Amino acid sequence: MLSKVEIIKNKLITDIKHGVFQIGKKISSRNKLCRKYNYSRTTIDRAIRELTFAGYLASRQGSSTYVISNKPIDKPQHLFIISGFAGQNIDSGIRELFFSGHDFNIPLSGISEHEVASNLNRLCQPGSVLIWNSPGMESIHLMDYIDQAEIPQILINRKYNNYNYVATDAKSSIKEGLSWLMIEAGRDIVFVSCKATTDKPYLYERIISFYESCAELGTHLTPDSIFSRDFIDIPSEIAEVGRILFAGGKAPKGIFIMHQNLILPLVTIAQTYGFVPGKDYKLLTFDYNPGLENYSGIGMMKQEMTQLYHEAAGWLKRNPTSQKQAFKKNIKTELIIY
């Protein structure tokens, strides 16, 4: 038995195919459709929303709805990859990054994140599909606008609102890393991290995951073992942290550094006080830093970026224009121990 929404959708499609609502012309208002078909406004809204998603209609919040096709769009027509490094003409290297091993033959364009607002008409065409590569929080309102146009989107390494995503599994990754660090160094851990801000939105989840994991594992944390700062001036602020940790002639047993930019500066400061990572203290880092490969007794949590990109390609292969199932995938880091 067809639902009310499916009944209305079929009636509207019939009217479109018979020319009652012509291509390029407005359809009747929601209120008129309610009276014509004798269904509620909620049912009419859902039917129009799903027909917009299918490519029959196009509508914008606060404006009329138009007929744009009498045939459904059953596959993606154009893929846009949005990131901080992609230009208008995406190169073969980025195509290979996302789609190595995948059959992919639809048009593809790269757009810088700061250019999205000026390209909304282009991005919101039926059949468009968007992959956001590590977008900033300032783009959420643009994602919401694009979502109103029923354009499928997926986010890489970010989790905003209820959008589809492929992201690093912060909780299981940090818990695994902390378990290793506590075996090597004991329960007393020093934590060094930048504060979570709108410029570093990924740190919100990671810092919460750190404290949750500490509670679950029984890690000993004290106020003087937590160095969560803005780190705007990294050299001077790390020098101060290094003085507190190492100037007394004794190194902490275990240190967890959350942010990539802090790793080598802190290791360098420790060495000026005569302390070598792995030998004098155990070190765990979130993310991989090749500058530490020559030290033993170090754990690095390497994000599986290639897998994140390939999972996004797999989402595209599932044809998000013809289905609306949620796609939310978490990928654990690889714990590399030297």
- Mean pLDDT confidence for 154-162: 95
Same structural domain, 323 and 215: no
Threshold 0.75, pTM exceeds: yes
Residues 163 and 175 in one domain: no
Is residue 99 situated within a structural domain? Answer: yes
- The answer on 175 and 298 residing in a single domain is yes
Strand partners, 154: 131, 164
Co-location of 174 and 158 in the same domain: no
323: closest CA among 80, 107, 50?
Answer: 50
Do residue 242 and residue 314 come from a single domain?
no
One domain, residues 201 and 161: no
Residues 6+ apart with CB under 8 A from 253: 185, 186, 188, 281, 282
Determine the 3-state secondary structure of 59 from DSSP. strand
- Residues 73 and 174: their CA atoms lie apart, in Å, by 42
Q: Residue 195 has what pLDDT?
A: 96
Is 142 part of any domain? yes
For the stretch 141-157, pLDDT in tens is 999 999 987 889 999 99
63 and 35 part of one domain: yes
pLDDT of 101 = 63
- Same structural domain for residues 210 and 273? yes
In a domain, 72, yes or no: no
Residue at which a domain ends, from 44, 67, 90: 67
> Domain of 44: which CATH number?
1.10.10.10
Q: What is the pLDDT of residue 261?
A: 95
Same domain, 134 and 257: no
| 3-state secondary structure (DSSP) of residue 109 | strand
Furthest-apart CA pair in the chain: how many Å?
Answer: 85
d(CA 271, CA 285): 17
Rounded to 5 degrees, φ, ψ at 322 are: -110, 0
User: Do 179 and 252 sit in the same domain of this protein?
Assistant: yes
Domain boundary residue, one of 24, 39, 67: 67
Average pLDDT, the chain: 89
- The predicted-structure confidence for 121-136, as pLDDT tens digits, reads as follows 889 887 899 999 999 9
Q: Are residues 192 and 146 in the same domain?
A: no
Answer yes or no: is 336 within a domain: no
User: Is the model more confident about 42 or about 53?
Assistant: 42
| Structural domain of 154 | 78-168+307-331
Written as one letter, the residue type at 32 is K
Q: What is the CATH number of the domain that holds 316?
A: 3.40.50.2300
- Are residues 184 and 200 located together in one domain of the fold? yes
The answer to whether residue 19 sits within a structural domain is yes
- Domain end (from 38, 67, 96): 67
C-beta separation of 210 from 284 below 8 A: no
Residue 126 lies in a domain: yes
Per-residue pLDDT reduced to its tens digit, 56-75: 888 765 568 888 888 776 67
Within a domain: residue 235?
yes
Confidence of residue 286 (pLDDT cuts 50, 70, 90): very high
Say how many domains are in the chain: 3
- pLDDT at residue 54, rounded to an integer: 75
